[in-house]
Chains A and B, each alone.
Chain A
């Protein structure tokens, strides 16, 4: 398991919103220790008579011992929410919010560069560690099983597909991390690969990338130099045209390196097993793990 586990005490920023309420309920049902909510101006109430709400992250942390934050606040306030958590000393922050301007994300990244806080996202499904019964995000709970495969991805629904396939093959997961679809993610493939490589429970990693940027090439470089664990990779967008944004702000081909083929070639050359048919992610991972035992 990486980043979140049974000791993770989650606070939800923007907990009183409609979507946040819905997902807070789902997280609690999964077993996540949601200990606090933060909505400025609504301090001193309690969310659905279960979770105390505070006006600030610092106060929530002091009163409840929260050590991770899940953010649902709207885009204009999201960077403020992230940095508030960082300044309060929260170590893991998952930001679900979509549509944050790139320049704001740049400032956010700069601010966080000399802090210990790890930001997952923005524009991501969050993070889940099935063995620790900790879900900090919006992914469907029932598809996950505890196990030994680490999953890291830029796409939400594609991760759910991959996890479903793994679970069908009786392969559970240590932790699944959604990096998000923005061009400037708080956490990169390399950050997560490092953690999976160091995590004794993780025996294999599934990496799901897509067109845009060069994050997968950086991942390939890391895999070649430092990974001893097998990596199964899929890259979405082989059929996407140049210069058109494919849903995610970060999924746009602008130059050769951002094309799917370039990423596939780099990952394959680095020793990762790249699957062309994403319906086979589970099967291929199963085969690789079986051949290693």
Chain B
């Protein structure tokens, strides 16, 4: 689960990590008032679940409270499109108004679990301000890493090694190791999957501040942290993905026009790969899971069909606990109810296959059964292309 920058900063500050003075505003007037209280130049930062906001006008300087109010008015309610959001962008429902600071040195600090080492890891770099991927590509030598064991915690000597390694002046060593200690406590107490401060800056007036922050949480641990669940903002997610989450299936919108519904995450990825391999574009990842009920499969199908880009759909199921006939009944029911004209390719194998085929054949719906994987993919892709060209013809 992701949260907003302002929420991340509030959390960090509770763990003794210093952040700039400021507060979140949901209206332009609030933004102006906050700027007035700070009584100096401020930064107005659009709160969306994405990086790269500065490059597309989502982070702006205001010299006066009136200007702050004006900028907030321009940003609030609009959509911000960054390189991470996709073309649809994300709605700005809040802005963070903060004192503008003069940075002297910009550091990167990140904490996550290194899955190869089976240990939490702190990453530090003196090339802060750009994304970690960018630092890795441009200057891998500038990246320092230290692993920790949960039993020993964040050993101070390792934190110091990182602090000295990023060439901080002596007076900053202790404050930076304290920042790391705070990050580590937050990481372990709240089951984070990522705590990132980028940049952590030293200012011309001698302060150390977390200028930007990103925190992600382990979805599997959310049931232990009701305070974190409260921070969830579904306006930052695709509505269909939110609905899928409520239904208990895994759906990710990809953007192509060949929808697919699969049981099992690996098979669902492989199905998308196969669509791509034969020259199509998958519309979504959709894994209904191993033990889905007919109702869940039906809900999942409705979600798949709610994406207007979907021109053809491919059901690819290996029946185990989830029986083929259960999927077939759900398909028939949804297609009959919704009167959707999207053609369906069904490829199934496993438990109760014969019964499933009987249900599909009796339905007289636009469903093609295809046993071979590649042929199924090719048919789905061809049907999507055909429907797309027909739609273009009618619109001309």
Contact = CB atoms under 8 A, between A and B. Distances in A.
A236 interface: yes
B375 to A, nearest CB: 9
B203 interface: no
Given A106-B113, A184-B115, A240-B269, A158 B264 contact: yes
Contact of B113 (A99, A184, A214, A244): A184
Interface in B206-240: 218-221, 223-224
Nearest to A182: B220
B267 A138 contact: no
B130 interface: no
Interface stretch (A1-9, A45-53, A192-200, A275-283): A275-283
**Taking each of A22, A256, A260, A279, which has the highest tally of chain B beta carbons within 10 Å of its own beta carbon?**
A279
Interface string A105-147: 0110110000000000000000000000000001110010000
Contact of A100 (B220, B273, B291, B321): B220
Contacts of A138: 290, 320-321
Nearest to B187: A103
A181 B118 contact: no
Interface stretch (B24-32, B160-168, B274-282): B274-282
Contacts of A155: 264-267, 269
A236 B266 contact: yes
Contact of A279 (B119, B133, B319, B372): B372
B263 interface: yes
Interface residues of A, number: 61
B136 interface: yes
A260 B272 CA distance: 13
A61 B224 CA distance: 33
A101 B218 contact: yes
Contact of A157 (B191, B267, B285): B267
B193 to A, nearest CB: 7
A239 B115 contact: no
Given A239-B254, A243-B84, A255-B133, A184 B321 contact: no
Nearest to B189: A103
A140 B351 contact: yes
A246 interface: yes
Interface stretch (A29-37, A64-72, A169-177, A205-213): A205-213
A236 B265 CA distance: 9
A147 B380 CA distance: 35
- For chain B, give the interface size range: 35 or more
Nearest to A101: B221
Nearest to B373: A279
Nearest to A107: B150
B287 to A, nearest CB: 4
A123 B220 CA distance: 12
Nearest to B254: A241
Majority SS at the chain B contact face: mixed
A256 to B, nearest CB: 8
B116 interface: yes
Contacts of A211: 269
Contacts of A191: none
A103 B120 CA distance: 9
Contact of B150 (A103, A140, A255): A103
B264 A157 contact: yes
B250 interface: yes
Nearest to A76: B223
A171 to B, nearest CB: 17
A273 interface: no
Nearest to A113: B118
Nearest to A237: B269
A246 B191 contact: no
Contacts of B120: 106
B188 interface: yes
Contacts of A109: 118
A228 interface: no
A278 B270 contact: yes
B256 to A, nearest CB: 9
Interface string A150-193: 00011111111100100000000000000001011000000000
Given A102-B221, A103-B221, A161-B318, 12 more contacts: A76-B223, A102-B113, A103-B113, A103-B191, A110-B118, A138-B321, A155-B264, A184-B115, A210-B265, A236-B273, A239-B275, A240-B272
12 contacts: A19-B291, A101-B220, A103-B218, A106-B120, A160-B320, A213-B115, A213-B116, A243-B84, A247-B268, A247-B287, A256-B136, A278-B270
Interface of B: 84, 113, 115-116, 118-120, 133, 136, 149-151, 188, 191, 193, 218-221, 223-224, 250, 252, 254, 262-270, 272-277, 282, 285, 287, 290-291, 318-321, 349-351, 372-374
A-B CB proximity, top 4 nearest: A155-B266, A247-B265, A157-B264, A158-B266
Interface of A: 19, 22, 75-76, 99-104, 106-107, 109-110, 138-140, 143, 153-161, 164, 181, 183-184, 208, 210-211, 213-215, 218, 234, 236-241, 243-251, 255-256, 260, 276-279
